[in-house]
Structure 1
């Protein structure tokens, strides 16, 4: 009789442990989506206009640039890297594309192509060289590039802003204008469409192409990838070229939205982009960097920021909340790994 009682107790304890494990697993998998749902519910009760169609469009527009930049970070994470230079790349891209219009009176397509090409060739090549050839750790190499490119952008603009009607550094008057077609890129629904195209394209690339799967293999175990015949260094370099391209694209979207090149315009997007990319790792139990998860992470940050602004929370306190969200996301990700 005693043995039966003890057996029943052990069985009950085992069931309780299994239930707790299932609950924890469910929360770590879907906690981000649950949090978004709860935030929407709370903000909608406190402020009914929060759930209006116009505010939803506002949230999507506000996260478009962050999402594109965050997708770039996500790509670098797939090869077990980390690109910290994306904010400076965006700033550099903003300065380049606006100067092409204002200083050189170019049309839309050439201005965009030059900004993208110069950003990718200069920054991505340097990142790839430092990381792949010189073998500097990814974070340290891109941190160095963050400061270098930030300085290059400020030197290029003379430490000031560039906008329509402003003279050049030497006092020469300018006649160039940002074209209506370019300004349209920064408006809804076009900026939202660009974001969605980037998210879907990168998701397909990473999950349904040979090259994307190879990048995951490289990130999982470089030595095993090398022994399998995968050109590890080539795919590590590719990750940084794609990350730089997306950061530059985010800068172009930012320039189209604000209509000028401001000092360190892209710097403020680094932390939200990092938060979104790391939050995305735990979404749906993916356990790896992924574009759809990053988009969900950006939505979480966007909903949180929009709701807090509507509640009249001071702008200088928003970073506290963003930092707390990132800390929770990281805790969820790494606890699940254990």
Structure 2
């Protein structure tokens, strides 16, 4: 056999081996970085790996994961919901107002706030589907509207027991203990209830998006809306469903925040939009799927939570944390999209 023949027979094997390594790195990039973070933080600060701290991380990211799951559904249809942070923040205020000012109990407040989130999602869908306003502009407008609207009933004050209303009277209501259990209770004294809710939402949406006809239609709409419509699917209903679901999940996130902190803080939703979007985008890199997916969003939320918790335990300056979070996000996406591309 000549040298040229030997090279011809060996190169494909070598090339295939290299491609296998690249594909493995691409598909596992987020997991590799996540493991590296956990090991690094554990070595630098042994208390990081403590079970209570790990549960604290999951509890902290539960709201981000739930809201991010809604964002993921809108990304699947080729849209984007920028109003989720404002919906969550408004839901915190709405839940607090309902109990402290209106005197409602948990069983009245929770459905009311979820209905509020669904209504905002429906309004977004109306702007996008019926009025043909671009997704980003429609949801951005809703974000500004809600950010201002939540401040009006209390004249910009946070809501807590004994709130002085704009007319000079004092609110006489209080938080329902049953409501507070949503954000403060735990299973067996170890697993926070909010973490269980996060896992339940993730499981339901994973089955919905990955194992049902509706899920296939969601991705089909995002991939080629015209073809999906010509195939007989009602694209307008699919889009409406996505935005209503996103608004409802954002409201659920707000309920959990309100139940955890026990007050309606006007700044409670400040970082929820960016963190939920970051989780959704990191989700693109999970298993190299390169598309929005609920499992990836859950992993992305945990990824962000581990990173921020570790930086906090290491006393990293707060003003560097967003930069580091962005750098790691860029790294995860670069590994996913940059490795394994077609070689010339």
TM (norm. structure 2) is: 0.92
Runs of 4 or more off by more than 6 Å in structure 1?
A: none
The RMSD of aligned alpha carbons is 1.7
Deviations 1:254-308 (A, max 9, x none): 1111111112311211111111111112211333211111111111111111111
Distance 1:204 1:337, change over 3 A: farther
Deviation at 1:337, TM superposition (A): 9.4
Q: How does 1:13-28 map to 2 (within 5 A)?
A: 13-28=11-26
Tell whether 2:78 aligns with 1:80.
Answer: yes
Distance 1:112 1:213, change over 3 A: same
Q: Which of the numbers 123, 126, 130 marks the counterpart of 1:129? A: 126
Contact 2:183 2:256 in 1 (8 A): yes
Which residue of structure 2 lines up, in the alignment, with residue 172 of structure 1?
Answer: 169
1:136, 1:330 → 2: CA distance?
Answer: 30
1:248, 1:295 → 2: CA distance?
Answer: 18
The answer to which structure has the higher helix fraction is 1
Distance 1:277 1:336, change over 3 A: farther
Distance 1:337 1:134, change over 3 A: farther
Deviations 1:4-37 (A, max 9, x none): 2223334444444333322221112111111111
Contact 1:66 1:269 in 2 (8 A): yes
1:133, 1:284 → 2: CA distance?
Answer: 36
Q: Which of the numbers 91, 94, 99 marks the counterpart of 1:93? A: 91
1:273, 1:229 → 2: CA distance?
Answer: 33
Which residue of structure 2 lines up, in the alignment, with residue 59 of structure 1?
Answer: 57
Q: How does 1:240-319 map to 2 (within 5 A)?
A: 240-319=243-322
Contact 1:178 1:259 in 2 (8 A): yes
Deviations 1:207-262 (A, max 9, x none): 22222221111111111111110001110111000001001100110111111111
SS of structure 1 residue aligned to 2:133: coil
1:6, 1:156 → 2: CA distance?
Answer: 81
Which residue of structure 2 lines up, in the alignment, with residue 111 of structure 1?
Answer: 109
1:148, 1:8 → 2: CA distance?
Answer: 69
Deviation at 1:333, TM superposition (A): 4.8
Q: Which of the numbers 232, 236, 246 marks the counterpart of 1:233? A: 236
Q: Which of the numbers 202, 208, 211 marks the counterpart of 1:205? A: 208
Distance 1:145 1:11, change over 3 A: farther
Deviation at 1:115, TM superposition (A): 1.3
1:326, 1:255 → 2: CA distance?
Answer: 29
Distance 1:66 1:178, change over 3 A: same
1:316, 1:164 → 2: CA distance?
Answer: 33
1:270, 1:329 → 2: CA distance?
Answer: 20
Contact 1:199 1:295 in 2 (8 A): yes
2:11, 2:249 → 1: CA distance?
Answer: 51
Deviation at 1:334, TM superposition (A): 4.3
Which residue of structure 1 lines up, in the alignment, with residue 155 of structure 2?
Answer: 158
Runs of 5+ consecutive residues of structure 1 not aligned to the other structure: none
Distance 1:269 1:205, change over 3 A: same
Which has the larger displacement, 325-334 or 230-239?
A: 325-334
Contact 1:68 1:195 in 2 (8 A): yes
Distance 1:26 1:321, change over 3 A: same
Deviations 1:65-102 (A, max 9, x none): 11111111011111011111100000111110000011
Deviation at 1:47, TM superposition (A): 1.1
TM (norm. structure 1) is: 0.94
SS of structure 1 residue aligned to 2:150: helix
Which has the larger displacement, 110-119 or 194-203?
A: 110-119
Tell whether 2:213 aligns with 1:216.
Answer: no
